[in-house]
A and B are shown apart, each in its own frame.
Chain A
């Protein structure tokens, strides 16, 4: 899997939007961009994923650069419960024959202040 680069930590205030960046300059044309997060004392949980177009779901939005070398996870209104480590992961499509591997990096630790 291609590597991703994320800031070690970020801070936000409650009720404000948060933009979590991820660089993946060596992404291949078919790699999906996945985001997971890990809340304190819990296992990781899936947040969102995309390929080329921006994506929205109930948890967050994913903005993907036109050249796909970077992406941004957007939390529209941060809550205290959003304090977690956020992981940006690249995954190959099924037809490459790879297993459903998730290769986690260090992620970004997000602190949310009241």
Chain B
């Protein structure tokens, strides 16, 4: 499945580093999402974008900064992360943000903060 791609697939960063995660969807969708999946915990919704406009920020710390320059691309900028931020970060897209269309997920970026 190549509808939603994420890069890099794996990332190791120190607590003082700045890095960015990239997501691209080739499905012509208008809504994009970031989720976090920590070990032993359910997926948590972080951010929702509709037509490049953020419509939900789910109480995420400011060390995570999303950016959606167009409806096909979504970034998650990371700075001064903590070891507990180590997780699988998943990007998803859907036709619209308010419809009941299914979400399509990317393979995720496995992030390790040292």
Interface residues, chain A, with chain B CB atoms under 8 Å away? 32, 34, 41-46, 49, 91, 93-94, 97-107
Q: How far is the CA of A98 from the CA of B99 in the complex (A)?
A: 9
In the complex formed, the residue of B with least CB distance to A96 is B98
Interface size class of B (residues with CB under 8 A): 20 to 34
Q: Is B45 an interface residue (CB 8 A)?
A: yes
Candidates A45, A91, A100, A104; contact of B42 at CB < 8 Å: A104
Cβ contacts under 8 Å, B98 to chain A? 94, 97-100
Contact A94/B99 with A43-B105, A45-B105 known, Cβ cut-off 8 Å: yes
Contact B99 A105 (CB under 8 A): no
Candidates B1, B48, B97, B101; contact of A45 at CB < 8 Å: B1
20 CB contacts below 8 A, A to B, read A34-B102, A41-B107, A42-B105, A42-B108, A43-B4, A43-B106, A44-B90, A44-B92, A45-B1, A45-B105, A91-B100, A94-B98, A94-B99, A94-B100, A98-B98, A99-B56, A100-B99, A100-B103, A105-B42, A107-B42
